[in-house]
Structure 1
Amino acid sequence: MKHIVAILFLGLALSIQGRPNNEPYIIGGVPVEPREFPEMVSIQIDGMPRCGGTILSEGWIMTIAHCMVYDMHDYAVVAGSDNLDKDQGTRHSVNKIIIHQNYSKEDSWRNDIALVSVTPPIKLGSINQAGKLADPSEGINEGDMATVIGYGSNKYEGLPTNVLEKANIAVSNHDQCNTIYNSNFGLNVHDTQLCAGMEGRGFCGFDTGSPLFIKGKVIGISSWTYKCAEPGFPEVFTYVSKYIDWINDNLKP
């Protein structure tokens, strides 16, 4: 049995067996260009980055379910910042959280997706923009290049840098990814999840919920992984295209 280090939501580190890490940050990345990713937001507690998210509209963002397990009044959402230390952006309170009704941490973080309503509304324009979600008809193939972003640490078990970074990674073979996690940890990679990675590049802590892009469209949400860009272990994302109907149904007035 491999020994896994899981970085918990509030930044506490515990050594446990059999469960991979599901608190990503960017490994092997570089700082983004100014407002290169205007869809990105930081979800915070007590001024500390905890997760990332994607703007869907003035009033809604998308993130992962396992981030939004506390009282909504504990959270703040920061939009419009590439560097949380230098540019505070705009701060927004949370007034509603919708977690997927079939989310299951016990079943390999299945349906790890949530919608979050914010107030005041996020002003859209050149600074903040709604993310373009990939259509279900737009398939992905092994080897397709993708871009993952996040504000977090650039080393395993490190602290967040507060600087938005990006890293290019490749879509992995789904069946092989499932075999790796099933044989090592008894976990399943479901058809509503996708795998991507590249040795020395990827996510690992404090920024789950950040978007994964292919050709400028959001195809995934950082969900869970083993360690950080670990050789032989692709990273697992919620496959956003599988949830378009669920998203649209829950955003109806």
Structure 2
Amino acid sequence: MRLFLILALCCFALAKSQIIGYYPGIGQPIQPIQPIQPIQPIQPVQPVGQGYPRFEAYAGEYPYQVAIQVDGHAHCGGTLISKKHVLTAAHCTHDWILQRKDKTTIKVIVGTNDLNNGGTVMNVARVSQHPQFRWYGPDVPILKHDVAVIRLTEEITESDTVKPISLPAANSEIAANTRLILTGFGATYAGGPSSSVLRHIYLYVTDHNTCSINWLNRGKITTDHLCATLAPGYGACNGDSGGPLVLEDKSTVVGIVSEGIGLGHGCGSGWPDLFTKVSHHLEFINGELALTN
């Protein structure tokens, strides 16, 4: 039994981690940490009879969901939180700020569940990330304060397919085992291309202690994180970063897709995905909403 535990811990420590949904074709960090490569090539998890189950959303089902594109390519997801503001992950915007990216090359697509059919393209006026966000480094094994706000050049026109979602109360918490909805245009298998069709799945909140143990090989998670999972084969994937995790009644956004533990299996490893807890970052978010220039 002791030998089994030692071997299990060793395998856990060698597991490959990934940023969920950071589209690899959009530019890389200047000095990325090189993950330990598994002996076998990464393969998508294949639940029996299901493949990677991500179910298609119908038109107008999630009117707050947006797609963020850079230079015409899929990049990240986001959430409409006002007629002029989009909530996303700071790791999605990190390179733009670092490289002083021309904002005319960044587009936000609203109002569609199919990027090949419909939707409105919005231009970007301002990109702000949380002042305490830091990219990976020796003292940053896990992303913290992974939140950014994008301001559009003009207000969206509300309709059945375009509508902001509410923010949670400050410092509010979500009980373990609460069922939430994750949506995104992310890949349906690890390393695959982003989907042109919006998809959704249910995830359940993982209690903080269990999540902390699962992430122990990477570093310490904090109460500013929210963890959620379901089973192997279910979860966020490439292209979902920055997208919304919302209450089951679709009234409130509670999380922002941040990171996942691949464990050599790519997306849907069965280990909790890590989300930025929106309720713990309202001072920054509301500050951005209040800006007029």
**TM-score calculated relative to the size of structure 1:** 0.88
More helix by share: 2
Cα pair 1:95 1:118 within 8 Å, conserved: yes
The answer (yes or no) to whether the contact 1:225–1:235 under 8 Å persists in 2 is: yes
1:224 paired with 2:262, answer no
Question: For residue 189 of structure 1, what is the aligned residue in structure 2?
Answer: 221
Q: How does 1:171-190 map to 2 (within 5 A)?
A: 171-182=205-216, 184-185=217-218, 187-190=219-222
Q: Report the CA distance between 1:139 and its aligned residue.
A: 2.6
Whether the aligned pair in 1 keeps the contact of 2:69 and 2:107 (CA below 8 Å) is yes
Structure 1 unaligned blocks of 5 or more? 20-26
Q: Does 1:144 align with 2:178?
A: yes
1:28-67 correspondence to structure 2 within 5 Å: 28-67=53-92
Structure 2 CA distance for aligned equivalents of residues 54 and 66 of structure 1: 15
Per the TM alignment, residue 5 of structure 1 is displaced from its structure 2 partner at its CA by 6.1
Q: Hey, what's the Cα distance between the residues in 2 that align with 1:15 and 1:159?
A: 23
Partner of 1:206: 239
Where 1:219 maps in the other structure, the secondary structure is strand
**Change in CA separation of 1:18 and 1:176 when aligned onto 2, cut-off 3 Å:** farther
Instruction: Give the aligned partner of residue 48 of structure 2.
Output: none
How far residue 62 of structure 1 moved from its aligned partner, in angstroms, is: 0.7
Pick one of 12, 16, 21 that aligns with 1:4: 16
C-alpha separation between the residues in 1 aligned to 2:171 and 2:146? Answer: 21
> Given the alignment, which residue of 86, 89, 94 partners 2:124?
94
RMSD: 2.2
* Inter-partner Cα distance in structure 1 for 2:214 and 2:156: 41
1:234 aligns with 2:272: yes
Name the counterpart of 2:111: 80
- Provide the identity percentage: 26
Equivalents in 2 of 1:246, 1:18: separation in Å? 34
Deviation at 1:18, TM superposition (A): 5.6
Please say if residues 5 and 16 of structure 1, whose CA atoms lie closer than 8 Å, have aligned partners that are also in contact: no
Post-superposition offset of 1:245: 2.5
Q: Could you list the runs of 5+ residues in structure 2 that have no partner in the other structure?
A: 1-12, 38-51
> 1:57 & 1:238 partners in 2: Cα distance?
19
Residues 177 and 234 of structure 1 are in contact (CA less than 8 Å); yes or no, is this contact kept in structure 2? yes
How many pairs were matched up? 242
- What TM-score do you get using the length of structure 2 for normalisation? 0.77
Q: Which residue of 2 is the match for residue 17 of structure 1?
A: 35
Letter in 1 for 2:289: L
The runs of at least 4 aligned residues of structure 1 exceeding 6 Å deviation read 12-15
Cα displacement (A) at 1:3: 4.5
For 1:94 and 1:39, the matched residues in 2 are separated by 17
1:84 CA drift (Å): 0.5
1:104 Cα deviation after fit? 1.8
Instruction: Please say which structure displays the higher CA radius of gyration.
Output: 2
CA drift of 1:15 comes to 10
Please state how far the C-alpha of 1:250 moved relative to its aligned partner: 2.1
Report how far residue 121 of structure 1 moved: 2.3
SS in 2 for 1:251: helix
Over 3 Å counting, the alpha-carbon distance change for 1:249 and 1:15 in structure 2 is closer
Q: Which amino acid aligns with 1:196?
A: A
C-alpha separation in 1, matches of 2:165 and 2:189? 28
